[in-house]
Amino acid sequence: MFIIFMAHMPGNFFTLYIPARFGWSDATEIFVFCSGMASAIAFGKIFETTGWLVGTMRILHRMWQVYWAHIGVFFVILALVILQTWASGTGVLCFYDGSRLCGSPETGPAWDYVGRLNIIHVFQEVGGSSPMQNFLGIMTLTWVPNLFDILPMYIVILALIPVVMALRQANDYAPFVFIILLWLIAQDWLMKSLGFSGGIDLPAEPWSDRTWFFNPFAWQLVFFTGFALMKGWLPKPPVLKPLILIAIAYVVITIPYAFWGIHNDEAFQPSVYGPTIDFSWAGITEFRDVTEHLRQKSDFGIFRYIHFLCLAYLFWILAGENGRNLEFRGSVGRRLVKVVHKVGQQSLATFMGGLVIGRFCGFVLDVINSDLGSHIFGQDTLLAWWFNWIPMTLVNLAGMAGMVAIAYLVAWLKKTPWKPKTATTAEPVRATAI
């Protein structure tokens, strides 16, 4: 949750050093994998004890909840960026020359936050699609803008659980055949090589042929891997030295092919954000081009899956049986684990809160100017570079503190503290009109 928050904060230097920059898999795999495990705990037992029909109704109820969570967070963020665009356009936060919120011939127009997030089409026609059609697209999930694509993916994957559970009742191996075949026909490059027009996917916007960034028919593979492990359909992997060495080797070997400072991806402007290493002699760029279809994110390339399995295997071993290695003796370590655990338990609430907080924190960075050190100490000075990290760090920590607060608040609310604890000694509670 913390990594996803940092990755979705505009202008956040920390994004350049999250684990995703050093390997082919990232926090999305962790999120979906753990969601699969949690779903096995929350829903799997219902299918077994109350039957397939009741289990399916429970899944539909959860899909309904996640759907409205998606709609709600979209309109909250829409309102937030409208307010940010207004503040930028009016110049009320234009405190000094060079600020991103100051429109001038030198800096260009002030930030358009609605346009920056590419959700302005809810107000205007685009490609022949009217605002009314675009609004309908939001409500029917046929318009899924970037940043708002994880929860729709999760909704579709949830809908596959009744199918998988029905197949499991028919045959122990049937779910695995279904999961693997579904992943295969979602691979665009594979289906085109077989003569088809492309892999199965869902439309992402009514005015173009763009598809969902997270193809749910491909990403279900990692979801049901976690689901099957938690259900006991897959055995725990053996702790063997050869497997550990293979996993370490795969993780280490992928670093040069993933880290922007080595493969020199111009999108990250490495000369601005940190040092680079010349690895051109290793043919890294050529290898990345050739293997793009095997490690790309939308259709969940096989290289990403292997990388995630290696990481999960290594950290599962490091955590120890039942997480015994995470039971720190020091109070600081125990409290840290407890906080992270609480955030993970309330993943939907903290994810939604993290998206909103991330957009607000990005706005705060624009107000204080993430490159403020250059205005104080001059361009291209080491002191300016280090100074820029101070507000960046404080804003990140403040945002994470907000997510922790959300997790504890939601956990407290789920205990329904407004209900009486016991009915034996307390007087009857009388309802009052509001």
Q: In whole angstroms, what is the distance from residue 165 CA to residue 53 CA?
A: 11
Q: Residues 12-35: pLDDT tens digits? A: 888 888 888 899 999 999 999 999
If pLDDT is split at 50, 70 and 90, which confidence band does 391 have? confident
Which residues, 6+ apart, have CB-to-CB distance to 335 below 8 Å?
none
> In the prediction, which pLDDT does 91 show?
67
DSSP label at residue 428: P
Amino acid at 3: I
Q: What is the Cβ-side half-sphere exposure of residue 160, based on CA atoms within 13 angstroms? A: 21
> In the prediction, which pLDDT does 377 show?
61
Is 365 contained in some domain?
Answer: yes
Structurally, the chain folds into a number of domains equal to: 1
Is 12 contained in some domain?
Answer: yes
* Domain around 286: 2-414
Is 294 contained in some domain?
Answer: yes
Q: In this model, does residue 254 exceed pLDDT 70? A: yes
> In the prediction, which pLDDT does 422 show?
67
**What is the percentage of the chain residues whose pLDDT exceeds 90?**
58
Is 63 contained in some domain?
Answer: yes
Is 424 contained in some domain?
Answer: no
Q: In this model, does residue 179 exceed pLDDT 80? A: yes
Task: Please give the mean pLDDT across all residues of the chain.
Answer: 86
Is 183 contained in some domain?
Answer: yes
> In the prediction, which pLDDT does 288 show?
82
Which residues, 6+ apart, have CB-to-CB distance to 332 below 8 Å?
none
Q: Residues 203-218: pLDDT tens digits? A: 999 999 999 999 999 9
The answer to whether 385 and 374 are in contact (CB under 8 A) is no
Q: What average pLDDT does range 244-269 have in this prediction? A: 80
Q: In whole angstroms, what is the distance from residue 215 CA to residue 203 CA?
A: 10
Q: In this model, does residue 261 exceed pLDDT 80? A: no
Q: What average pLDDT does range 380-393 have in this prediction? A: 72
Q: In this model, does residue 202 exceed pLDDT 70? A: yes
Least confident of 95-99, 310-314, 326-330, 426-430: 426-430
Q: pTM surpassing 0.85?
A: yes
Q: Residues 74-94: pLDDT tens digits? A: 999 999 999 888 887 776 666
> In the prediction, which pLDDT does 256 show?
86
Q: Give pairs for 106-109: CB < 8 Å, separation 24+.
A: none
Is 421 contained in some domain?
Answer: no
Whose CA is closest to 63, among 159, 150, 153, 148? 159
Q: In this model, does residue 70 exceed pLDDT 60? A: yes
Q: Residues 306-349: pLDDT tens digits? A: 999 999 999 999 999 888 888 887 788 888 989 999 999 999 99
Q: Residues 276-289: pLDDT tens digits? A: 666 666 678 788 88
Q: In this model, does residue 251 exceed pLDDT 70? A: yes
Q: In whole angstroms, what is the distance from residue 303 CA to residue 295 CA?
A: 5
> In the prediction, which pLDDT does 119 show?
86
Q: What average pLDDT does range 103-124 have in this prediction? A: 74
Q: In whole angstroms, what is the distance from residue 183 CA to residue 111 CA?
A: 40
Is 426 contained in some domain?
Answer: no
Q: What average pLDDT does range 158-184 have in this prediction? A: 96
> In the prediction, which pLDDT does 271 show?
46
Q: In whole angstroms, what is the distance from residue 312 CA to residue 293 CA?
A: 23
Q: What average pLDDT does range 39-63 have in this prediction? A: 94
